[in-house]
Homo-oligomer: A and B are copies of this chain.
Amino acid sequence: MESLYEQAFERGVHVVAANKKPLTIDWAKRQALLRLASESHRSYLYETTVGASLPVIDTLKNLVRTGDRVRAIEGCLSGTLGYLTNELMSGTPLSTAVRTARRLGYTEPRPQEDLSGLDVARKALILARELGIPLELQDVSVTPFVPQAYLDEPEVEPFLSALETIDQEMAERIATYKDEGRVLCYLARIDPTAFRDDSRPVLHVGPVAVDSEHPAAQLRGSEAFVAFTTERYQDYPLIVRGAGAGGAVTAAGVLADTLRVAQTLRGR
């Protein structure tokens, strides 16, 4: 895919894409791609790679290019896992929630892919790289939504059946969280200050029980959110929240990026 984009830039074609892959390949290759776009004076817009048409990438770019210092980024970046955690919190057994989500088309055909957290890790990496942090996908500390042993099952039906064996354990965890006034969510955390500090990860994605005041605790349905804590947004983060997945909002985001490119060409 990235070689296709290279050809586009070389031929003077702008690129708008929802594809996360060209932004999560080797850092050096990603940099070469963006440099080529810049040197060719071509636009490469990819707002929809994180949070569909929510203004996430553009907001982050504006913070960075106006000289703000980003201290932390936190977000629920998966509508699928957001749906699942909400279902769990309202008492649905894990295996039932995953089956329903799959039937409604909220998961990939292999729900293992959603529950592995890899898609969230890719989004977190895209955000971290906007800060100039040269990390790779394997540098993201990922705690999957369910233990890795379950995810190793390649087939769908045996995987879903196996999940039933942790329904009870999960229900007990959820009950504890409720007693404590906490809410389960699948959170991505980016801590730029940890870069070059081996004691803690810059990028972590995994299930976290947040307290009821946390913006993640208020999400409903398959809502996503991203919170940017920066030097300027220090006391309270800048938060963007809303439907972060789905065909209509993703298509709209791609169209918005395309119209943005068109505007840069206006009046030439």
Binding site for B on A (CB under 8 A): 41, 53-55, 58-59, 62-63, 65-68, 213, 218, 220-221, 223, 232-233, 235-243, 248-249, 252, 255-256, 259, 263-264, 266-268
Which single residue of chain B is at the shortest CB-CB distance from A53? B62
Which among B65, B66, B243, B263 is the interface contact of A233 at CB below 8 angstroms?
Answer: B243
Whether the pair B240, A239 counts as a contact (CB closer than 8 A) is yes
Whether the pair A232, B249 counts as a contact (CB closer than 8 A) is yes
Which single residue of chain B is at the shortest CB-CB distance from A55? B55
Q: How many copies does the complex hold?
A: 2
> Please, which residues of chain B bring their CB within 8 A of the CB of A58?
55, 58
Cα A62 to Cα B65 in complex, Å, equals 21
CB distance from A210 to the nearest CB of B (A): 14
Whether the pair B242, A239 counts as a contact (CB closer than 8 A) is yes
CB distance from A194 to the nearest CB of B (A): 23
Which single residue of chain B is at the shortest CB-CB distance from A243? B233
Whether the pair A223, B236 counts as a contact (CB closer than 8 A) is yes
> Please, which residues of chain B bring their CB within 8 A of the CB of A239?
239-242
Cα A141 to Cα B264 in complex, Å, equals 38
> Please, which residues of chain B bring their CB within 8 A of the CB of A67?
252, 255
Which single residue of chain B is at the shortest CB-CB distance from A63? B252
| Between-chain CB contacts (< 8 Å), 11 pairs | A58-B58, A63-B252, A65-B259, A66-B252, A221-B236, A223-B236, A233-B242, A235-B243, A239-B242, A240-B241, A264-B266
> Please, which residues of chain B bring their CB within 8 A of the CB of A263?
264
Which among B62, B220, B238 is the interface contact of A236 at CB below 8 angstroms?
Answer: B220
